[in-house]
């Protein structure tokens, strides 16, 4: 039973159980009758749980168990999903179906898998394989699962703002500070870079630790599937638990407008590399929290109505984070003193953030942040073409929309200090003439637009323009 | 004590009083000196300046008192110039910039009050009236209506308070210590003069004070006392308003007072021993500059060194007053003395300095040559935008200028506005971030021929601009900023090797930063061959030339790596090592005894040819095949087939094998060697990464490699990168490791990351060895972030270089022209590294180890090649025929690269095994 086999041969992925003791949540999964995969989430200095919040806390913990399972499920993608810990109601099952399908879209594309029709969380009684749980516990959970809306839990007016080390969450921090909110900078994992950014915010800090089951690495060696998982969904579920544990009534993420657009279409299906950052996910998770966990727990993205460019413009307002932040996906785990330690200069994120900030800050400041001029390197022409969706599709990274890159470059063409740089000059000569003037207007992209779930009291601080 | 010294306790400011304590240790000196009061005008002046950190604690003020008292006791009049307490100027700046932000302003004010009150307490001064007078003035200035507009004159008054307060505390303290000290308001004596083109900002906040010797002033001051304290940084303008002298203003004040008084000496007391031949934080081998002339010092201070503000030097040069930079913590060190150039000074590079954050503006026009006034138009734009140009390079159609870093450039749109205006008259290109690397030294043009290796180093880079001033004091290269941190230590070493920076000249160059840090003369590195000298001499007497290896030394190096430290927090299990597997790269030296020793120490092996693989298996038949890593480059198909056949681990570094011999790799685990795109190392030929190197798969081909591997059913289980050799900087592997790890995350089955070897072995006695503790920490940090990957390394030279020496006997000596040759029986056929890589090996005359060094010689071999030089420009004791010379650090790439060129037999190998052998026994096997 304990010998590891290739998880791709497994028939069933099992949600075995989840526990919480003294600040440590244990989430347990298994493939067939294989060894238990145990993930631990460690909440530092966890207070004793307020009795009036315990039901909501249990519900949030269940949700976390189901959401975080995606990291393990994807190793084998078995045909059957079995929730043994407690029963799912229809709304939750539908939410998880959507999360696993869309959240693994990029993963499926890269592994040449078709997940449509394969992912199905069953509604109804828990599907226990062996020994049954004590009946009373089961009953209480069933009761809760069938309720329509969760009650309020008298959570204090405090906001958790997750920090990612990149520009977006730091813009949110500055908005919350301007609004005078009681906010705490929170992050999951042990990135020194994020810790440095969190410290620079000046806010109180909360660092939650997440320990993946070491067996997952062993499964990888056996040939498990690997690829992107919807990590924002997992972090959202962790923060929902944290909100109930420590007492926060809001979780303010920093996903912007373009997070909702598909990065490509594959086999007739739109694939969004960052689906768990999308408006669709935000609404679904928000509704689920309100109905299943706590009616007074707010979950929203503060930057939802803003384009990437608009976020970049806001980021440029303060130079407070210039020497600590990084949006680069390659080097983000390691902290170093030099720009090259934080910005690889080779990934689409580096290229896009450089381009998005360029219209809004003095050139020497931007070059000081990156330590080099990415727009004067002709070898990066194909990379910028991809950002502009010129001749190539959009790269699989969290970058802005093509129209934003085109507008940013068009703005730089108008600027004498940028105009002669290789990529800008090439854009002016070769690409701009093929585009209509309307496609290149920067200002239209800077105003907030579209739907959002930002609490009324904060809206004007997000709208505050320039 | 005379009445005068009693009076000196009271300063010119009415709110100030300072008391002298008659019962103190200094009073007797004071009394004896004051007997000569009638002749005070003849007492020479010393001006001593102390910066912010030097005036922030009681201990530091005691130091100031001691220094001033010592000068005074030597019959000198002393003028102490002080800065504000450290941190105070920033708080005053917060007040100046607070505008409507009352909270911020109040916070800064409270900070300032607390800081001064606490130092006041620490100094145990009896009254606080004088200090409180200034703090009350601060209150007034905060309430001043001019604050709303941040009026420049108001700003100057606010900033001036920092120095006024520190000097007030100082006067009281020195008085209380019994050193009668008069407080002097610097503004009464330093009068700023407006300059043409000076804007209002500079007029108030970066004013210029002309200062020439003024005997009447010196006399008048001497009549008032013998020890004075005054403020740096502040002066008055023509209409009596307070003005500031700009950044580094305290140095400037000291320079002005030094000139006014025609002081015997101006002393700048800081926290470093003086000026160095390079920034010692970047180049620990940088030498203290004992002696500079004004122009050189000015150039070094202007081009990067922060220790002295260049504006201080002008008045002193004109007045002929020397300036000395001294270390407050180590006053016994001589420091850097700056005075007029000696008439017979030989051309020499004194320093290499770097300014980062440089912005180049390149302006291109058609036919600038004939366009009258083009340059005038261009420079008018720079002037209009208030940007001052530093370097200028011009060609017929292009003029490129550099702008030094400034807050203005980074925080305002000034560059954008300038570029827009320039674009009307020419094509503009802004190139940044750049760094200007300047070689400083008198007579630079006479040194060009010595700079070939330095120029070669620049040759591999994109140099944006080169500038050489007509003053002949500098040579500046502008390159991309990202390059300089690695470049500077290399250039510094090259300047020494090429004899352009002549560190042997003790009058100019003092000890290195590292030597000073280690406090005193660095001990000679303890080497095994010094201990084994007698044995080695006997071995050389038996046969020569010969290589001798010390297995003990191999084991010492191996154990140091095996115990590679990591931060204590991670040392949870005993035997924890951050590196999971060490391989010995046996191309460095495949001697069987060394392979056996390293196997016993727990090393696996890395082979680059199948023959090496067979050599390991022949020596260690029981070694499991998977302990051998086969990492060839452009090897024929057969070698891969044979290696896979016996089950060793195979690394591919090209697409070709998978593309054309794919079936070989079906179902096999393979490792992929990638080229992370940056080459580094101590010589072009040993750089193994980067576009110009033949090793590794380029990053942009990695996806194709994966696709090919998938097609033929090979599993990629490891990534490998090796960027060069001779690397002494631990952060290099951290960066390679982090890059490989983030790359590996995109794969699914990577188990190990091999970050290569290249662990540097310092060749010169004064080079810093690789800091293993730093390496361990750097690696542990990455390991912590990516615990899922095993970490492998594969050092070669590091393990064996020091363990081997080449012994040779002197054959003939010869003098030809000015050059002395010492010929030996080992040539490039035994040791080719000097000829091939320009490698430097220490050479000693083992027969005369303790004799004094004689003239400079060239140590050459018997091979008919001009390049058969084993050591150029060496100082050895007088060599005679038959003497045994020892060429150190030849355990790696020595015997294994030997040849039979000229049909001369190369040196044979002998292994020394411990315990130290007596004659005729215990010697290990020869190779043959």
Q: Does B337 fall in a domain?
A: no
Does the residue A398 lie in any domain?
yes
| Helices vs. strands in chain B: H and E counts, helices first | 30, 35
- Look at A140 and B278; give whichever has higher pLDDT: B278
What pLDDT was estimated at residue A237? Answer: 97
Same domain, A150 and A206: yes
Helix axes B592-600, B610-619, angle to 10 degrees: 70
Token readout for B395 is 């060609």
Q: Does A79 touch chain B (CB under 8 A)?
A: no
Q: How many domains does chain A have?
A: 2
**Closest by Cβ to B432, choosing from A224, A333, A373:** A373
pLDDT of residue A338: 77
Residue B5 has pLDDT above 60, yes or no: no
Residues 6+ apart with CB under 8 A from B395: none
Same-domain check for residues A249 and A117: yes
pLDDT at A313: 95
Give domain status of residue B322, yes or no. Answer: no
Closest CA to A7 of A75, A69, A100: A75
Average pLDDT, chain A: 87
Higher-confidence position of B583 and B407: B583
CA distance B10 to A454: 66
pLDDT at A77: 95
Closest CA to B693 of B725, B661, B741: B725
With bands split at pLDDT 50, 70 and 90, how would you rate the model's confidence at B372?
confident
Q: How far apart are CA A146 and CA B238, in angstroms?
A: 87
Please tell me whether residues A186 and A232 are part of one structural domain.
Answer: yes
More confident residue, A335 or B922: A335
Report the gap between the CA of B147 and the closest CA in chain A (Å): 24
Report if residue B328 sits inside a domain: no
Residues of chain A above pLDDT 70, percent? 89
Indicate whether B288 pLDDT > 50.
Answer: yes
Residue B733 has pLDDT above 50, yes or no: yes
| Of the listed ranges A449-463, B31-45, B531-545, B788-802, the one predicted with least confidence | B31-45
How far apart CA A42 and CA A23 sit, in angstroms, is 6
CA neighbor of A171 nearest in space, from A69, A37, A308, A273: A308
Q: Which of A302-311, B33-42, B797-806 has the lowest mean pLDDT?
A: B33-42
Residues A52 and A198 both lie in one domain = yes
- Report pLDDT digits (tens) over B335-352: 999 998 876 677 889 999
Any CB–CB contact under 8 A between B417 and chain A?
no
Q: Are residues A345 and A297 in the same domain?
A: no
The reply to whether A3 falls in a domain is: no
State how many domains chain B has: 4
Question: Poorest-confidence range of B59-68, B384-393, B610-619?
Answer: B384-393
Output the pLDDT for position A330.
67
Same domain? A366 vs A224:
no
Band (pLDDT 50/70/90 cuts) for residue B574 is very low
Q: How far is CA B916 from the centre of its chain?
A: 41
Question: Does residue B227 have a pLDDT over 90?
Answer: yes
Contacts of B405 in chain A (CB under 8 A): 364
Whether B461 and B539 share a structural domain: no
Q: What is the mean pLDDT of residues A188-216?
A: 90
Last residue of a domain, one of A301, A327, A350: A301
Q: What is the pLDDT of residue B4?
A: 37
Tens of pLDDT, residue by residue over A372-408, are 899 999 989 988 998 998 876 666 566 778 889 999 9
In a domain, A40, yes or no: yes
Contact across the interface for A224 and B748, Cβ inside 8 Å: yes
Looking up residue B840, the CATH number of its domain turns out to be 2.40.37.10
Q: Looking at residue A319, what DSSP letter applies?
A: -
3-class secondary structure, B61: helix
Judgement on whether residues B784 and B917 belong to the same structural domain of the protein: no
Per-residue pLDDT of B33-65, as tens digits, reads 444 444 444 799 999 999 988 899 999 999 999
pLDDT of residue A397: 63
Statement to judge: residues A46 and A163 lie in one domain: yes
Instruction: Flag whether residue A415 sits within 8 Å of chain B, measured between CB atoms.
Output: yes
Q: Is residue A154 part of a domain?
A: yes
Domain assignment of residue B702, yes or no: yes
**Model-level ipTM above the cut of 0.90:** no
How does pLDDT run across A173-188, given as a tens digit for each residue?
Answer: 999 999 999 999 999 9
Catalytic residue among B348, B426, B434, B864: B864
How much is the average pLDDT of A138-149?
A: 45
Q: What's the rounded mean pLDDT across residues B619-641?
A: 96
Two tokens at B206? 């970066």
- Same domain? For A123 and A26 the reply is yes
Percent of chain B with pLDDT over 70: 88
Sign of CA dihedral A412, A416, A421, A425: positive
User: Looking at the structure, do residues A362 and A419 belong to the same domain, yes or no?
Assistant: yes
In a domain, B731, yes or no: yes
Q: State whether B615 and B763 are in the same domain.
A: yes
pLDDT at position A132: 40
CATH number, domain at B444?
3.30.2130.10
Averaged over B356-370, what is the pLDDT?
80
Q: Which of A16-20, A231-235, B308-312 has the lowest mean pLDDT?
A: B308-312
Question: Is the pLDDT at B917 greater than 60, yes or no?
Answer: no
Looking at the structure, tell me whether residues A153 and A280 fall in a common domain: yes
Contact between residue B453 and residue B420 where contact means Cβ atoms under 8 Å apart: no
Judged by a CB distance cut-off of 8 A, whether residue A376 touches chain B is yes
Q: Can you give the CATH number for the domain in which B643 is found?
A: 3.20.20.10
Q: Does the residue A326 lie in any domain?
A: no
What pLDDT score was predicted for residue A130? 42
Residue B316 C-alpha, separation from nearest chain A C-alpha, in angstroms: 36
Active site residue B712: no
Average pLDDT rounded to a whole number, residues A237-256: 96
Q: Which residues constitute the domain of residue A399? A: 339-445
Q: What is the pLDDT of residue B23?
A: 36
The pTM for the full model equals: 0.72
Q: Is the pLDDT of residue A421 over 90?
A: yes
Say which residue, B418 or A109, is predicted with more confidence: B418
Q: What is the pLDDT of residues B742-761, one digit of tens each?
A: 888 878 789 999 998 888 88
pLDDT, greater one: B459 or B400: B400
Residues A269 and A390 in one domain: no
pLDDT bin (cut points 50, 70, 90) of residue A148 is low
Q: pLDDT tier at A335 (50, 70, 90 boundaries)?
A: low
Convert the pLDDT of each residue in A275-304 to its tens digit: 899 999 999 999 999 999 999 999 999 999
Say if residue B114's pLDDT is above 70: yes
Is the per-residue pLDDT at B682 higher than 80?
Answer: no
**Residue B308 phi, psi (nearest 5):** -140, 135
Task: Check residue A259 and give its pLDDT.
Answer: 76
Where is the domain boundary, B765, B796, B827? B796
Smallest CA–CA distance from B700 into chain A, residue: A346
How sure is the predictor about A145, in pLDDT bands with cuts at 50, 70 and 90? very low
Is residue A253 pLDDT above 90, yes or no? yes
What pLDDT, on the 0 to 100 scale, is given for residue B519? 54
Is residue B726 pLDDT above 90, yes or no? no
- Residue B284 falls inside a structural domain: no
Q: Reply yes or no on whether the pLDDT at A139 is more than 50.
A: no
Say if the Cβ atoms of B410 and A220 lie within 8 Å: no
Note whether A293 and A421 are same-domain residues.
no
Interface A-B, measured as beta-carbon pairs within 8 A, has a size of 111
Provide the pLDDT for residue B35: 43
Q: What is residue A141's predicted lDDT score, i.e. its pLDDT?
A: 43
Q: Which domain holds residue B816?
A: 526-549+803-928
A338 touches chain B (CB under 8 A): yes
B707 touches chain A (CB under 8 A): no
Q: CA dist B458 to B328, B464, B478, B488, Å? A: 38, 11, 10, 11
Q: Nearest CA of chain A to the CA of B406: how many Å? A: 10
Instruction: Say whether A372 and B751 touch across the interface (CB within 8 A).
Output: no
* A312 is a domain residue: no
Of A223, A364, A373, nearest to B409 by CB-CB distance is: A364
Q: Which of these ranges, A318-327, A457-466, B177-186, has the smallest mean pLDDT? A: A457-466
Q: Residue A450: inside a domain, yes or no?
A: no
Domain limit, last residue, from B796, B825, B852: B796
How far apart, in whole angstroms, are the C-alpha atoms of residue B429 and residue B400? 9
- Tell me the average pLDDT across B654-663: 96
Domain annotation covers residue A133: no
pLDDT at res. B729: 73
With beta carbons under 8 A apart, name residues in chain A contacting B481.
371-372
Task: Quote the CA–CA distance of B547 and A209 in Å, as a whole number.
Answer: 56
DSSP string, B754-817: E----B----STTSPPP-HHHHHHHHHHHHHH-TTSEEEE--SHHHHTTTEEEEEEEEEEEEET
Q: Residue B895's pLDDT is what? A: 96
Residues B141 and B7 in one domain: yes
Nearest by CB to residue B419, choosing from A192, A334, A417, is A417
**pLDDT of amino acid A219:** 87
pLDDT band with cut points at 50, 70 and 90 for residue B845: very high
Q: What is the DSSP letter of B687?
A: B
Task: Give the closest-approach CA distance of B511 to chain A in angstroms.
Answer: 29
B232 and B251, same domain (yes or no): yes
Report the mean per-residue pLDDT for chain B. 85
Measured between beta carbons, which residues in chain A are less than 8 angstroms from residue B357? 364, 368
pLDDT band of residue B766 (cuts 50, 70, 90) is low
Nearest to B232 by CA among B246, B215, B213, B212: B246
Nearest chain B residue (CA) to A360? B413
Show residues of chain B in contact with A350, CB under 8 Å: none
């Amino acid at each position: 039973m304990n010998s590891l086999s290739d998880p791709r041969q497994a028939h069933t992925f099992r949600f075995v159980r989840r526990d919480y003791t003294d600040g440590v949540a244990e989430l347990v999964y298994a493939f067939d009758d294989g060894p238990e995969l145990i993930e631990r989430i460690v909440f530092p200095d966890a207070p004793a749980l307020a009795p009036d919040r315990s039901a909501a806390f249990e519900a949030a913990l269940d949700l976390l168990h189901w959401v975080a399972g995606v990291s393990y499920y994807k190793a084998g993608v078995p045909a059957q999903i079995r929730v043994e810990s407690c029963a799912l109601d229809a709304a939750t099952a539908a939410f998880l179906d959507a999360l696993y399908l869309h959240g693994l879209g990029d993963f499926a594309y890269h592994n040449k898998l078709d997940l449509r029709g394969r992912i199905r969380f069953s509604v109804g009684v828990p599907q226990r394989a062996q020994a049954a749980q004590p009946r009373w516990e089961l009953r209480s959970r069933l009761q809760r699962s069938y309720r329509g809306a969760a009650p309020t839990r008298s959570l204090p007016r405090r906001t958790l703002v997750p920090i990612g080390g990149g520009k977006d969450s730091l813009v949110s921090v500055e908005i919350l500070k301007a609004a005078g909110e009681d906010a705490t900078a929170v992050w999951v994992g042990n990135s020194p870079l994020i810790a440095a950014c969190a410290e620079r915010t000046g806010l109180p800090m909360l660092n939650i630790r997440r320990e993946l089951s070491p067996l997952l690495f062993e499964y990888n060696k056996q040939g498990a599937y690997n690829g992107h998982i919807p990590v924002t969904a997992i972090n959202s579920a962790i923060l929902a638990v944290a909100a109930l544990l420590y007492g926060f009534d809001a979780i303010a993420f920093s996903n912007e407008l373009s997070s909702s657009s598909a990065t490509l279409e594959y086999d007739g299906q739109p694939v969004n590399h960052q689906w768990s950052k999308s408006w669709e996910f935000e609404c679904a998770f928000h509704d689920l929290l309100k109905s299943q966990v706590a009616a007074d727990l707010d979950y929203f993205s503060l930057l939802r109505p803003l384009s990437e460019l608009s976020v970049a413009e806001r980021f440029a307002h303060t130079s407070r984070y210039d020497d600590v932040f990084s949006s680069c996906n390659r080097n983000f785990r390691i902290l170093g003193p030099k720009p090259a330690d934080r910005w690889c200069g080779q990934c689409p994120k580096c290229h896009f953030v450089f381009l998005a900030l360029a219209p809004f800050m003095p050139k020497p400041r931007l070059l000081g942040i990156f330590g080099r001029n990415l727009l004067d390197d002709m070898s990066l022409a194909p990379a910028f073409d991809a950002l502009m969706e010129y001749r190539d599709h959009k790269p699989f990274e969290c970058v802005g929309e093509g129209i934003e890159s085109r507008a940013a470059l068009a703005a730089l063409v108008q600027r004498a200090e940028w105009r002669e740089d290789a990529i800008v000059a090439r854009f002016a000569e070769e690409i701009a003439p093929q585009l209509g003037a309307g496609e290149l207007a920067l200002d239209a992209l800077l105003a907030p637009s579209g739907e959002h779930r930002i609490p009324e009291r904060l809206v004007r601080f997000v709208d505050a323009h320039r | 004590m005379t009445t005068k010294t009693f009076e000196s306790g009271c300063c010119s400011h009415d709110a100030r009083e300072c008391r002298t304590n008659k019962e103190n240790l200094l009073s007797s000196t004071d009394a004896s000196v004051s007997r000569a009061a009638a002749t005070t005008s003849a007492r020479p002046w010393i001006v001593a300046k102390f910066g912010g950190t030097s005036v922030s604690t009681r201990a530091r003020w005691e130091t100031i008192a001691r220094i001033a008292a010592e000068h005074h006791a030597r019959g000198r009049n002393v003028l102490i110039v002080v800065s504000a307490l450290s941190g105070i100027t920033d708080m005053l700046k917060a007040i100046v910039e607070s505008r409507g932000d009352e909270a911020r302003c109040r916070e800064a004010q409270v900070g300032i009050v607390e800081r001064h009150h606490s130092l006041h307490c620490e100094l145990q001064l009896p009254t606080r009236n004088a200090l409180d007078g200034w703090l009350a003035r601060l209150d007034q200035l905060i309430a001043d209506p001019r604050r709303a507009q941040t009026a420049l004159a108001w700003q100057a008054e606010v900033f001036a308070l920092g120095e006024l307060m520190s000097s007030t505390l100082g006067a009281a303290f020195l008085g209380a210590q019994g050193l009668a000290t008069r407080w002097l308001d610097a503004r009464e004596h330093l009068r700023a003069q407006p300059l043409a083109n000076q804007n209002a900002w500079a007029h108030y906040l970066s004013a210029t004070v002309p200062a020439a010797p003024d005997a009447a002033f010196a006399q008048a001051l001497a009549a008032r006392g013998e020890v004075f304290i005054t403020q740096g940084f502040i002066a008055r303008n023509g209409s009596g308003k307070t003005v500031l002298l700009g950044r580094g203003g305290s140095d400037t004040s000291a320079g002005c007072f030094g000139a006014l008084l025609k002081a015997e000496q101006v002393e700048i007391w800081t926290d470093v021993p003086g000026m160095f031949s390079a920034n010692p934080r970047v180049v620990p081998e940088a030498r203290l500059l004992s002696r500079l002339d004004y122009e050189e010092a000015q150039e070094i201070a202007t081009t990067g060194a922060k220790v002295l503000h260049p504006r201080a030097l002008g008045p002193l040069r004109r007045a002929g007053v020397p300036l000395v930079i001294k270390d407050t913590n180590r006053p016994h060190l001589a420091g850097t003395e700056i005075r007029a150039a000696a008439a017979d000074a030989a051309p020499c590079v004194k320093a290499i300095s770097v300014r980062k954050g440089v912005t180049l503006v390149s302006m291109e026009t058609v036919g600038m040559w004939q366009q009258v006034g083009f340059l005038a138009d261009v420079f008018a734009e720079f002037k209009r935008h208030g940007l001052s140009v530093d370097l200028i390079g011009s060609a017929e159609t292009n003029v490129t200028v550099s702008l030094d870093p400034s807050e203005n450039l980074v925080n305002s749109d000034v560059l954008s506005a300038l570029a827009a205006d320039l674009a009307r008259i020419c094509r503009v290109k802004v190139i940044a971030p750049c760094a200007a690397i300047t070689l400083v030294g008198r007579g630079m043009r006479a040194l060009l021929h010595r700079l070939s290796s330095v120029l070669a180093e620049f040759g591999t880079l994109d140099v944006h601009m080169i500038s050489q001033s007509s003053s002949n004091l500098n040579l500046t290269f502008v390159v991309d900023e990202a390059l300089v941190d690695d470049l500077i230590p290399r250039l510094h070493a090259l300047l020494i090797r090429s004899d352009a920076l002549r560190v042997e000249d003790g009058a100019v160059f003092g000890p290195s930063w590292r030597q000073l840090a280690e406090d005193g003369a660095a001990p000679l590195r303890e080497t095994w061959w010094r201990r084994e000298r007698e044995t080695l001499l006997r071995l050389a007497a038996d046969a020569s030339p010969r290589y001798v290896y010390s297995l003990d030394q191999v084991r010492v190096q191996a154990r140091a790596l095996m115990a590679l430290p990591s931060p204590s927090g991670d040392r949870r299990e005993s035997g924890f090592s951050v590196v999971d597997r060490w391989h010995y790269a046996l191309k460095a030296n495949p001697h069987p005894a060394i392979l056996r020793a390293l196997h016993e120490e727990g090393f696996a092996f890395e082979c680059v040819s199948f023959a090496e693989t067979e050599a390991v298996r022949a020596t260690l038949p029981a070694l499991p095949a998977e302990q051998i890593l086969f990492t060839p480059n452009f090897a024929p198909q057969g070698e891969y087939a044979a290696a896979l056949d016996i089950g060793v681990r195979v690394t591919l570094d090209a697409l070709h094998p998978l593309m054309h011999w794919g079936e070989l790799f079906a179902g096999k685990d393979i490792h992929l060697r990638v080229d992370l795109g940056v080459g580094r190392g101590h010589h072009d030929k040993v750089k193994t990464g980067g576009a110009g190197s033949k090793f590794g798969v380029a990053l942009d081909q990695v996806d194709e490699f994966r696709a090919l591997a998938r097609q033929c059913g090979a599993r990629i289980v490891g990534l490998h990168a090796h960027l060069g050799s001779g690397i002494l900087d631990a952060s290099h592997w951290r960066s390679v490791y982090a890059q490989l790890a983030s790359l590996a995350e995109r794969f699914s089955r990577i188990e190990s990351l091999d970050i290569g070897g290249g662990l540097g072995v310092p060749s010169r006695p004064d080079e810093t060895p690789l800091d293993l503790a730093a390496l361990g920490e750097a690696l542990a940090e990455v390991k912590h972030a990516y615990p899922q990957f095993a970490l492998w390394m594969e050092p070669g030279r590091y393990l064996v270089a020091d363990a081997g020496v080449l012994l040779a006997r002197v054959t003939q000596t010869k003098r030809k022209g000015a050059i002395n040759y010492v010929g030996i029986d080992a040539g490039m056929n035994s040791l080719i590294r000097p000829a091939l890589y320009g490698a430097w090996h220490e050479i000693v005359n083992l027969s005369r180890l303790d004799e004094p060094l004689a003239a400079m010689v060239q140590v050459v071999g018997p091979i008919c090649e001009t390049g058969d030089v084993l050591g150029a420009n060496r100082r050895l004791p007088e060599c005679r025929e038959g003497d045994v010379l020892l060429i150190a650090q030849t355990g790696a790439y020595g015997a294994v690269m030997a040849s039979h060129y000229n049909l001369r037999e190369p040196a044979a190998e002998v292994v020394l095994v411990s315990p130290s052998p007596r004659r005729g026994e215990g010697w290990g096997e020869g190779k043959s």
